[in-house]
Structure 1
Amino acid sequence: MSDFYFGGDLFSELDRVQRQVSTLFGNVPSSMRSSRADSFPQLNIGSTDEAIQIVAFAPGVEPASLDVTVDKGTLTISGERRAPAAAEGSRAYAKERFKGSFRRVIELPQNADSDKVEARYENGTLFITIGKREASKPRAITIQ
């Protein structure tokens, strides 16, 4: 018989340990797929056989204030989100919306082709498509 007794909820305990480890290491991203929960803009990153697709959720950002660059295997999204105009004489007692300059840097996989980048912005969402190099695309091999 074991002398070990755990009287709590195991999953709650694991969540607590994960939060402590995240705090200890400062929420350092472990890959291009993860980052701090409060980063702006939030990203979804995925891929198809043909391209890498990045979706940046940037509501309230003017498209003219966005800058997207690809250099040495990294994609940089930067810009500025301004605060909406407040009514004259009003005082805020809570502010949950981010305002100011931002910059996100994403390390791209080696098969990304920096010559095949397209970006479009619609309804507060920035869509970026980066083509893959021809040599990295899957191909069928004929058996003889």
Structure 2
Amino acid sequence: MDPFQNMQEWRKNLDRFFGEDFWGEFEGVLKPKIPQINMYQSDNEIMLYANIPGLDDVNQVDVYVFNATIELRGVINITPSHQLIQEEILQGSFERTIELPYPVRSDKINATYQNGLLIIQLHRLIQQDTNKQRIHIQYLENT
């Protein structure tokens, strides 16, 4: 059950009246991005917390890291055996790309899942200039 299904018709009508993609600027307000995240940084480390409730198998979520972006893909699916009366926890498939404050190392990433939170620890990529070399200075005597 998509709580935003009825809004599609309203959205189409307003797009026709105000111009194409009128609601694009309000997308995050009307339908918040999932999963919800908190991101914290220090000089050399980023901690990203993603709210993914009801995950039974961590293989249901894909995490991709490239340079200064992280991409999360998966499904939030809460299926209790009771009848739904009120729904506030957003569910469904998600694909979210998040810009990071700086490039991160691809060889040093830790990801854990506990109590409905996916916790990803990333480390700053420190570029090593491999072309740096000491130049020999030749001393010339005055003649």
Normalising TM by the smaller chain, what interval?
0.5 to 0.7
Aligned-residue Cα RMSD (Å) equals 2.7
**2: CA distance between counterparts of 1:111 and 1:73?**
4
| Overall identity of the aligned pairs, in % | 30
What is the match of residue 107 of structure 1?
A: 99
Q: 1:55 aligns with which of 49, 53, 74?
A: 49
Q: Does 1:124 align with 2:93?
A: no
Q: CA deviation at 1:25?
A: 5.7
State the SS of the aligned residue for 1:134. coil
Contact 2:67 / 2:103 at 8 angstroms: preserved in 1? no
Q: CA deviation at 1:98?
A: 2.1
Of residues 120-129 and 67-76 in structure 1, the stretch that sits farther from structure 2 once superposed is 67-76
**1: CA distance between counterparts of 2:88 and 2:52?**
15
Unaligned segments of structure 1, at least 5 residues: 1-22, 29-34, 137-144
Q: Does 1:70 align with 2:65?
A: yes
Q: CA deviation at 1:110?
A: 3.3
**2: CA distance between counterparts of 1:61 and 1:135?**
36
Aligned pairs, number: 105
Unaligned segments of structure 2, at least 5 residues: 1-21, 129-143
Question: Aligned pair in 2 of structure 1 residues 126, 93: CA closer, same or farther (>3 Å)?
Answer: closer
For the pair shown, the structure with the greater C-alpha radius of gyration is: 2
Normalising by the residue count of structure 1, what TM-score does the alignment of the two structures yield?
0.59
Q: Which amino acid aligns with 1:105?
A: T
Normalising by the residue count of structure 2, what TM-score does the alignment of the two structures yield?
0.60
Q: Deviations over 1:84-116 (max 9, x none)?
A: 1334xx4x4533332211122111233422332
State the SS of the aligned residue for 1:117. strand
What is the match of residue 80 of structure 1?
A: 75
